[in-house]
Amino acid sequence: MSNPSRRGVLRLSAGTALLGTLALAGCGRGDTATATAKATAESVDDKPATGTVNVWAAQGDADVLAKVIKPFKAANPDVTVKFTLIPNSEYYTKLQAAIAAGKGPDVAQFFPESQAQFLDPSILRPVPDGLVDSGVFFKSLWDAGLVKDVAYTVPWYAYTYALVYRADLARKAGVKPPTTWAQMVPFFKALEGAGAVRGLGADNGWDIFNGQDVAMYAWQAGGSLLSTDGSWTLDTPAVVDALKYNASFFTSGSADTATPTFLDAQPYFVSGRTATMITGPWVLGQLDTAAKETGWTAAHVATAPLPAGASGSVSFSAGGTWGVLADSGNTDASWKFVRYVSKPSTQVAQYSAYGSLPAVISAWDDPAVKKQPLLDAFLTQLKNTKAFPQVGSWQQVATRLGKEVETVAKGTQTAEKAAASIQAYAKSLGTGAE
Amino acid sequence: MTTTLVPAARRRARNSRRTAVAWLFLAPFAVVFLLYTAIPTVAALGFSLTDLRGSDLRHPLAVDFTGLDNYLRLFQDPTFLRDILNTAVFVAVGVPLTMAIGFGLALALNSGIRRLRGVFRTVFFAPVVTNVVAVALIWQYAFNAGGTVNKALAAVGLAGPNWLDDPQLAMPVVILLGVWRNFGTAMVLFLAGLQAVPEDVYEAAALDGAGRWRQLRHITLPLLLPTTLMVSVLLTVFYLQVFDEPYLLTDGGPLGSTESVSLYTYHQFGSGQLGMSSAASFVMLLLVLLVSAVQFRLLRPRT
């Protein structure tokens, strides 16, 4: 029964045992809020970086980083950048444990959709004044790193969801992509009529990603996840509508609750077992491989912005960001690394190497990105995005929401009850700011 | 007087030297035990009485002492109660099934096929030492909607279900993986127990006219009672803490039907609820202690 994560839990418990015992003495949460050091900004010069920079990132977009930053290493011969890539699902758990144990890296990657819990001067250093120009990034990505006007992260890549569908089947069925919620299931049915087994290949982890989907639908329905005074509003009619809308894909038979699994998603799409995906832009770069045919994607696939609900076609902003840890022993080189990866040319190189879409808006004008017509829908969508709630408990709430989504999709609970349940859970959790 | 005092002093000195040596040998284990078992257990108990969250790890002194709140919340949480029930099913089905298969194979290896015992023992023990992550991936593919199991069923004209997406079917598959991984351990322990039963007892019984069944009932089973106790306690503790199988195959789904208490604890930790996670792990520790104590009492050999 050996399991690395559980071993981690034990080590963490051991490491904090004494502190935990002391905690029982009754210090209150409010005490340390005032005790945390006030964020102070530093400045970073243009001299070559030196020393070692330890970088932690999640597997995926960062797989190609060592290649992408070769010019940085050439220009800074005295710097060593060491990458540690961690599986996505374990990333935050391991990072959180490492930070708690004081064994974190110099630079860590974060996800703007779920990074709020790390935006604290005891964990991350404020972004130095003048390191980057905040105005060059998609606004919601930059804003995701702000707490009380202090920026803690720098955007790296951006993504959002759009419709990726089989253009050949749509042509055969004589249908255009749906622009409203009401057109969604009929569109799926038309594609099924043109030969697809299922109109939609749903992503069924029943996890945080499903929670995020429903949050996005709630925005489209005109809802918001937090009230203006910062408390959770998840049992609203908009959230109920969002849950019902998502469930309609399954109850109509256009999506299967059982398949495809994550690894099957692209082969299923290529073979026509599914005909639409609500997904990110990285998929486009992988379909030729799944089809084992260069040019397959260009000939068979089209993209479209997400269909609009009562309040329009809103999606979420997501991607990757970088932060320098408060405990870093080499902040100067760390910030120089972050500055380099946020340059438009580096972001274009990253796009060419992995398909990560630039977080810097001007990089989208580079021919490498611009000549890709399938990305147009994503750019349109990125201009109409919202950031998930920037509160510490959003990740937990979204994960729980993903589980509630399963119950509604499978018909074991009504959307109203699921919304009440997620609201009760979120309320008991608070926003993490208390 | 002096003649008796000197040896006593020497004896005391020798004893204290022995004690010191004993402590010296014990020290490495004691240190590891303290660091990785005792302190974490005490810490978990401490954390379970607070509202510790993931975001508090940088300043754990900031947490609030909440007494038994976490425990009350646990037992009011339908998810936790469901997971206790799931864990009970793991134990109630997994333990007897694993023991029955292990015992049956041990009996077969001990009697009929002695010459090939080594080969079969290795074959049946292989799942115990196989990497569970790799095995779980294979099982996942085998039991997928389009997996090998359903392909085999289709070959004989049967439509296979979506094993891992059906709340009724996912649990048996997860238990089956647990049984498959553990019956080898039970078999090896039973085999060792069977080989320790003196042959002449069976010969005497045979002379008295006892058949195979009576020998099994009146000699083998009673003499194997200590082994049975050990195997059942080991397996019960394993199934009470079952984690790898549901985590890797289903992550507790579908609809939470395979989520065990260990997995609940892990999910709570993963979502930053460290106080709740500690409380759940402490409840599990108490559960293991309680069930093991009952087993020892019920199955202890009566002399």
Q: What is the pLDDT of residues A235-255, one digit of tens each?
A: 999 999 999 999 999 999 999
The closest of A153, A213, A211, A219 to A359, measured between CA atoms, is A153
Instruction: Tell me what the pLDDT averaged over chain A comes to.
Output: 87
Cβ atoms within 10 Å of B160's Cβ, excluding its own: 17
pLDDT digits (tens, 9 = 90+) for B225-266: 889 988 999 999 999 999 999 999 988 989 999 999 999 999
Chain B residues lying within 8 Å of A93, measured CB to CB: 269-270
Position A262 confidence tier, pLDDT thresholds 50, 70, 90: low
φ, ψ for residue A79, nearest 5 deg: -110, 140
d(CA A278, CA A364): 22
The verdict on A31 touching B (C-beta cutoff 8 Å) is yes
Average pLDDT over residues A11-39: 38
pLDDT digits (tens, 9 = 90+) for B123-177: 888 888 888 898 898 998 898 877 889 999 999 999 888 888 888 999 999 999 9
Average pLDDT over residues B40-63: 81
The verdict on A424 touching B (C-beta cutoff 8 Å) is no
Average pLDDT over residues A212-227: 95
- The closest CB to that of B254, out of A30, A393, A406, belongs to A406
Chain A residues lying within 8 Å of B266, measured CB to CB: 5-6, 9
Position A260 confidence tier, pLDDT thresholds 50, 70, 90: low
A164 and A252 Cβ atoms separated by less than 8 Å: no
pLDDT of residue A13: 37
Closest residue, chain A, to B57 (C-alpha): A100
Alpha carbon of B40: minimum distance to chain A alpha carbons (Å): 5
Q: Is A358 strand, coil or helix? A: strand
Alpha carbon of A258: minimum distance to chain B alpha carbons (Å): 6
d(CA A191, CA A187): 6
pLDDT of residue A298: 94
Pairwise CB contact (< 8 Å): B244 & A1: yes
Report the percent of chain B where pLDDT is more than 70: 94
**Whether the predicted pLDDT of A149 surpasses 50:** yes
d(CA A384, CA A317): 9
pLDDT of residue A107: 98
What are the C-alpha distances in Å from A111 to residues A91, A108, A124? 10, 10, 14
Q: Tell me which residue has tokens 């520790």.
A: B285
Beta bridge partners of A135: none
pLDDT of residue A38: 41
Pairwise CB contact (< 8 Å): B266 & A32: no
Query: Which residues 145-204 on chain A approach chain B with CB closer than 8 angstroms?
Result: none
**Whether the predicted pLDDT of A19 surpasses 80:** no
Helices and strands, counts by H and E, chain A: 20, 13
Q: Is B168 strand, coil or helix? A: helix
**Whether the predicted pLDDT of A14 surpasses 70:** no
The verdict on B195 touching A (C-beta cutoff 8 Å) is no
- The closest CB to that of B54, out of A33, A35, A117, belongs to A117
pLDDT of residue A22: 34
Alpha carbon of B82: minimum distance to chain A alpha carbons (Å): 15
- The closest CB to that of A29, out of B47, B62, B262, belongs to B62
Tokens representing residue B25 in the block: 């040998």
Average pLDDT over residues A101-114: 92
pLDDT digits (tens, 9 = 90+) for A115-148: 888 988 989 999 999 999 999 999 889 988 998 8
pLDDT of residue B119: 82
Position B303 confidence tier, pLDDT thresholds 50, 70, 90: low
B35: which DSSP letter?
I
- The closest CB to that of B60, out of A23, A428, A432, belongs to A23
Query: Which residues 217-256 on chain B approach chain A with CB closer than 8 angstroms?
Result: 238, 241, 243-244, 247, 251, 253-256
Q: What is the CA radius of gyration of chain A?
A: 22
Q: Is A101 strand, coil or helix? A: coil
pLDDT of residue A377: 94
- The closest CB to that of B255, out of A32, A100, A410, belongs to A410
Alpha carbon of A242: minimum distance to chain B alpha carbons (Å): 20
**Whether the predicted pLDDT of A111 surpasses 70:** yes
Closest residue, chain A, to B266 (C-alpha): A6
Closest residue, chain A, to B46 (C-alpha): A21
pLDDT of residue B273: 82
pLDDT of residue A376: 92
Report the percent of chain A where pLDDT is more than 70: 88
CA atoms within 13 A on the CB side of A409: 28
Query: A365 or A90: whose pLDDT is higher?
Result: A365
- The closest CB to that of A19, out of B42, B60, B238, belongs to B60
pLDDT of residue B57: 66
Query: Which residues 174-193 on chain B approach chain A with CB closer than 8 angstroms?
Result: none
Position A87 confidence tier, pLDDT thresholds 50, 70, 90: very high
A57 and A65 Cβ atoms separated by less than 8 Å: yes
Q: Tell me which residue has tokens 């009562």.
A: A310
pLDDT of residue A433: 58
Long-range CB contacts for residues A236-240, cutoff 8 Å, separation at least 24:
A236/A419, A239/A214, A239/A419, A239/A422, A240/A415, A240/A416, A240/A419
pLDDT of residue B301: 63
Position A46 confidence tier, pLDDT thresholds 50, 70, 90: confident
The verdict on B67 touching A (C-beta cutoff 8 Å) is no
**Whether the predicted pLDDT of A286 surpasses 70:** yes
The closest of B259, B267, B262 to B281, measured between CA atoms, is B262
Query: Which residues 385-404 on chain A approach chain B with CB closer than 8 angstroms?
Result: 392-393, 395-396, 399-400, 403
